[in-house]
Amino acid sequence: MTTSHIPPEDWVDKYGDSFYRYAVKRLQNPEDAEEVVQDTFLAGMTHHTAYLAASSGLAWLITTLRRKIVDRIRQRQLASSSEAASRSEIEATLFDQRGRWRSSARLTAATSNEEWRELEGLVKRCLEKIPRIQADVFILWVMEGMKTDQICAELGITGDNLFVRLHRARLSLAQCVSSGWPTEK
Amino acid sequence: MDDRQAAELISRSLLGSLSERDQARLGDHLASSPLSQTYALLSAQIEEVVRSSSQLESPDSPGEQQRDERLSEFSKARMRVLLEQSRQQQSDVDMSDRRVAEPPEPYSTDPNAEPPQA
């Protein structure tokens, strides 16, 4: 074992919190996040030879953690696949029958540092609120930086389906962020 | 083009899958629709916020303890127990494997040799 491979009994104390924060941000669910961190450590134990063979033990654990996060997202997407078929209510809320923005759609973008910080907080809260089937693909795309073909392969969906989910995620986020924006703006 | 179609094109544009022709159509629409323009800007800002926060939040920064999102002590204790159980199981399997892998005592071809001790 090299210095880059700390012993398994120290993993929880050394990596537990940072792995958990990383996972909870992507999964938007504390229980799921806790479970993937636990699964990651157990995988490190089960495949300890592979862990020791890696040039960096931490990098091996992080790769495993990311793999577990994607697996969890895939399971959630399968569980909520029926949601994808339903018509997006958000579009009906944002656009009128002629396809124009409704006057009630108070869309405003951040224009100052203070607003930018406000936006960060709002986006975080909105990611927890929007439908998971939308948030998950958005997180894989933006946070994990996965390519479209990778996401499609992981989730077993078509490119068009991915596009629709991302599109709805953006509309939902824009709607949620705008509705939480300070009214005096 | 209406605003709903423009919003779809904005999504495709952010996805990097918009043809030059559609990009030009979108540009024309945005020039005449302040709300669509704001939506395009807001969507891009939201992605930037999410992306930048994910870069700050790296799992290889174990010293960063000031954030409020942490595993509970109960969860940590449970994980330690599970890891210890897994380690024990691995250890048992290793010992079992070693026993299986040990080569058997070779039989002597010497007719006068003592029989192998049990």
In total, the C-beta contacts within 8 angstroms joining chain A to chain B are: 159
Distance from CA of B104 to the nearest CA of A (A): 26
CA angle in degrees (0–180, nearest 5) for A94-A95-A97: 145
Give B22's contacts (C-beta < 8 A, 6+ positions apart): B9, B12
Q: Judge: A22–B59 Cβ closer than 8 Å, yes or no.
A: yes
Residue whose entry in the numeric block shows the structure tokens 């070693």: B98
Cα angle B41, B42, B48 (rounded to 5 degrees) comes to 90
Mark A80-116 as b/e (b = at least 16 C-beta within 10 Å): eeeebeeebebbeebbeeeebbeeebebbbbeeeebe
DSSP A8: G
Report pLDDT for A134: 86
pLDDT digits (tens, 9 = 90+) for B2-35: 999 999 999 999 888 889 999 999 999 999 998 9
Residues 6+ apart with CB under 8 A from A16: A37, B71, B76, B79
H or E element: which one contains A102?
A: none
Per-residue pLDDT of chain A (185 residues; tens, 9 = 90+): 555 788 999 999 999 999 999 999 899 889 999 999 999 999 999 998 899 889 899 999 999 999 999 999 988 887 765 554 455 677 888 888 888 998 777 888 888 888 888 888 899 889 888 888 888 999 999 988 899 999 999 988 899 889 988 999 999 999 889 888 654 44
Q: Rounded to an integer, what is the distance from CA B118 to the centroid of its chain?
A: 52
How far is it, in rounded angstroms, from Cα B18 to Cα B15? Answer: 8
**Closest chain A residue to B40, measured at CA:** A109
* Among the partner residues A25, A95, A178, nearest to B4 by beta-carbon distance: A95
